Amino acid sequence: MSTKHNVLNGATFVLAAHEITQLPYDSGAEVAFAGRSNAGKSSALNALTGHNGLARTSKTPGRTQQMVVFDLPPLKGAEGTEPLTARLVDLPGYGYAKVPEAIRLHWRSEIDAYLKMRRSLRGVVLIVDIRHPLKEFDRMMLGFCAATELPCHVLLTKADKISRGPASAALEALRKEMRKDGVTGTAQVFSSSAKNGVEEARARIIELLHTPRPHEL
């Protein structure tokens, strides 16, 4: 798919929701971004949309305490059909130690409900720091995607921090693990600062937005 027209470049902030009931009406197509608090999720969103200030970045991980919704330009559907409303949803960063336990429990239940109930959700982009092994949250997300047949695309971020050999090895190890666990998904090496893998990731996200889930067919 050509990425000359970057539909993600049209992303605009809509709202920040504390509960799934506050999200926009559940129609159209959306892709959610998930990841641990220090994995570089906000930086990845900014790089993919071409807007440096779209998602807040901070030297203090864990600042995203709500589900943040960004509207995209409508997606063209098949001939004779109405354009499809499209969104990106930035889920709360997970795992930062200074977040109070009550908030952690709240977001665990809200993210779980969102992933299970949101019918317009067409895929998850999971942000993982390439320098570290998969954490409990990462495995939980991949396991959920496998169990629900929800497409997942993993960005192994901060790839500029290591050399090419170890980066390729980390990617191959992840792909092998995903195949073993039955995860319907793809993975790639990514760097927000070096803009490495940005076009590939954009193309995959646009592909996810255009791909209906089985219940939509």
DSSP 62-100: ----SEEEEEEEEEP-STTSPPEEEEEEEPPPB--TTS-
Mean per-residue pLDDT, 30-47: 92
Q: What are phi and psi of 200, to 5 degrees?
A: -60, -45
- Helix boundaries (H) for the chain: 41-49, 101-117, 136-148, 164-180, 198-210
**Which of 179, 209, 23 is closest to 110 using CA atoms?**
23
The answer on pLDDT for 4 being more than 50 is: no
Which residue did the predictor score with more confidence, 166 or 3? Answer: 166
pLDDT of residue 55: 79
pLDDT digits (tens, 9 = 90+) for 122-143: 999 999 999 999 988 899 899 9
Q: What is the pLDDT of residue 137?
A: 86
Residue ranges per structural domain of the chain: 7-216
pLDDT digits (tens, 9 = 90+) for 90-127: 998 876 556 677 877 888 888 889 999 999 999 999 99
- What is the structure's pLDDT at 102? 81
Q: Is the pLDDT of residue 58 over 80?
A: no
Quote the distance between the C-alpha of residue 155 and its chain's center: 9
Residue 10 and residue 105: Cα distance in Å, rounded?
33
pLDDT at 81: 78
Find out if CATH 3.40.50.300 is the number for domain 7-216.
Answer: yes
Q: What's the CA gap between 217 and 177, in Å, rounded?
A: 30
Tokens 């197509």 — which residue? 29
Across the chain, how many H-helices and E-strands are there? 5, 7
pLDDT greater than 50 at residue 3: no
Of the candidate ranges 27-41, 73-87, 155-169, the one whose mean pLDDT is the lowest: 73-87
